[in-house]
Structure 1
Amino acid sequence: MRDLGVGFQYLVQGQKWVARHGRQYGFGLIPGLITLVLYLAALTALAVWGPDFVAWCTPFADDWSSPWSGLFRGLLTAVLFALALLLSVVTFTAMTLLIGQPFYENLSEKVDRDVSPDGTAPESGLPFWRELWISARDSLRVVVRAALWGVLLFGLGFVPFVGQTVVPVIGFFVTGFFLTEELTAVALQRRRVEVRDRLRLLRSRRMLVWGFGTPLALAFLVPFVAVFLMPGAVAGATLMARDLLGEETTGGDDNDDHDGDNDGRSGGGPGGGHAPRPRPADPWTKPQVR
């Protein structure tokens, strides 16, 4: 349970970092604004035509007496829109990261340099076009996984009561997990960690992931909030990626938020109290550093 709080602290630390680096924050807003316009148009279309889609999917309810048919379809429409919002959170992040690849890559590198004991940041050594292709490919894989979960949860939404109460809650945790995967990918791709290894790494510390991603998923449902939180979310995910890989972290330029340790332990978590975690046994490629 402690990891839940630690994950949330990383989210807060990321927002504090971009608050201290205004230029990085300003550039990080541009991709989110572009993506927001596209997604608002899509959600508006769903709000207009969603009831017709639900009616088409439930012909068996045509002969139900009033008001049961309307109530049933109304609940399903609400579940459909809620799941669309959750799925949009995951795809919004993927699309924004893809559009803003140069901005967020640069931001993540600066965070690494700021908190690294030797002031260096891992780099993939790949050309930009190759990194962009890998990012798009991996994002598509994650979005497909998230979409499959969305279809499953939508199907469970037909179950009376459970579909309107338990399913949306599960949906937020699922969305928080995939949202965290997308955000940590910025830092982990530079370390040449493949998408399957990233997912395995995140599953090994689900509480940490949910502590970071689930509050962010809830916040992203508020209009325009996603745009303003994205730069800080990338920064916080970079700090969390260092913890996941057991990399030593110093206080950077915010010693109040990251206390260094003098007893040989890593300051991997917020406040510096985490001992280094061994890297997973997967044969990941060792990154270069500048």
Structure 2
Amino acid sequence: MKGNVFRGAHCLLRGASLLGHPSLRLFVIVPLLVNILIFASLLGLTINFVDRTISGWMDSIPAWLGFLEWLVWPVLIIVFGLLAGYLFTALALLIASPFNNLLAEKAEELVTGKPVAGLGGFTAALLALPQGLLRELHKLWYYVPMAILVLVLSVIPGINVASPLLWLLLGAWMMSLQFIDYPMDNHQLRFADVRAAAQRHRLSSMGFGGLVALCAGVPVLNFFVVPAAVVGATLLWCEELQQ
């Protein structure tokens, strides 16, 4: 199994450090604005829903099992936090996908010093929106069966104790494929090629995707994780996966 978990995670941190670069700054603004609008709109609804849901579950626990509350609350908060982070991030990616391709294109040109035959500009990104939506729906079609399986396992007594870990592993894999797809799509590679590249370098991909998944569930930080992950995935593509 090729790769290194820490090297993959470090790509996200390096991607974040490049967001203020003059050649990337303009292409970061659009995905960032999309994220802020979506997260700000849905954050209040999610907090209210989670609070009511968890409180209802706690009220249904018999009094003699009240000592379990200290364990159940953190587990449920982690699960709901990860799910909300994935939902928000997926929605933001669905809307801003062509602009993320454009950011990956400019990031690769910055890193390699070579032109990339990608979208070319904001007008081309707008025209590519329908195609980008189809690509995102293709990825969603791949993710949903695995998410349903983990959801079923999460309600099975005994197995559900491991549900936070299962969601984190699934999230790491989903996020790695999601963002690695942007630089590879700019090279006209299929989603099947993206999966194959990530599988060959599974440790690096999971390290990168795992840190993205954790950041996606942190309020405010998740505003910035999408552009940082696009640039970080481009670094991972240029330095490791492309080989």
Alignment of 1:25-64 (within 5 A): 25-40=28-43, 41-52=45-56
Cα distance between partner residues in 2 of 1:104 and 1:78:
34
CA positional deviation for 1:141: 1.6
Could you tell me which of 184, 187, 193 is aligned with 2:183?
A: 187
2:235 matches 1:239 = yes
Please list the CA deviations of residues 177-201 of structure 1 after superposition, one character each: whole Å capped at 9, or x if unmatched: 1112111222222333333332233
The percentage of counterpart residues that share the same residue type is 20
Are 1:221 and 2:225 matched, yes or no? no
Using the TM superposition, give the Cα deviation of residue 224 of structure 1 relative to its aligned residue in structure 2, in angstroms: 0.8
- CA distance in 1 between partners of 2:59 and 2:141 (Å): 31
Larger radius of gyration: 1
Q: Supply the AA of the counterpart residue of 2:154.
A: F
User: CA 1:103–1:4 in structure 2 vs 1: closer, same or farther (change >3 Å)?
Assistant: same
SS of corresponding position for 1:100: helix
**TM-score with structure 2 setting the length:** 0.79
Paired with 2:188 and 2:147, the residues of 1 have a C-alpha distance of 25
Say whether the 8 Å CA contact 2:31–2:99 is kept in structure 1: yes
The 8 Å contact of residues 16 and 229 in structure 2, kept in 1 or not, is answered as yes
Instruction: Report the Cα distance in structure 1 between the residues aligned to 2:29 and 2:129, rounded to whole angstroms.
Output: 24
SS at match of 2:19: helix
Could you list the runs of 5+ residues in structure 1 that have no partner in the other structure? 247-276, 278-290
Return the alpha-carbon distance in structure 1 between the equivalents of residues 41 and 57 of structure 2.
21
Deviation at 1:8, TM superposition (A): 1.8
Answer yes or no: is the 8 Å Cα contact 1:146–1:178 preserved in 2.
Answer: no
* Cα deviation, residue 227, structure 1: 0.4
Equivalent pairs counted in the alignment come to 235
How far 1:86 moved relative to its partner?
A: 1.7
Change in 2 beyond 3 A, CA 1:244/1:54: farther
Residues 71 and 236 from structure 1, CA distance in 2 versus in 1: closer, same or farther, beyond 3 angstroms?
Answer: same
1:110 to 106, 111, 119: 106
- 1:138 correspondence with 2:135: no
In the alignment, the residues of structure 2 paired with residue 112 and residue 163 of structure 1 have an alpha-carbon distance, to the nearest angstrom, of 41
Higher relative contact order (CA 8 A, sep 6+): 2
Closer/same/farther in 2, CA of residues 79 and 39 from structure 1, 3 Å limit: farther
Q: Indicate if the aligned counterparts of 1:14 and 1:234 stay in contact, CA closer than 8 A.
A: yes
Assess if the C-alpha contact under 8 Å between 1:93 and 1:182 holds in 2. no
TM-score by length of 1: 0.68
Deviation of 1:10 after TM superposition, in Å, equals 1.3
The match for 2:16 is 15
Q: Using a 3 Å threshold, how does the CA distance of structure 1 residues 13 and 167 change in structure 2: closer, same or farther?
A: same
Aligned-pair distance for 1:31?
Answer: 1.1
**2:201 maps to 1:198:** no
Correspondence 1:4 to 2:5: yes
The Cα of 1:54 is off from its aligned counterpart by 7.7
- Cα offset, 1:212, TM superposition: 0.8
Distance 1:150 1:36 in 2: 25
Question: Once the two structures are superposed, what CA deviation does each residue of 1:247-281 show, in whole Å capped at 9, x if it has no partner?
Answer: xxxxxxxxxxxxxxxxxxxxxxxxxxxxxx2xxxx
Distance, in Å, in 1 between the alignment partners of 2:187 and 2:17 is 24
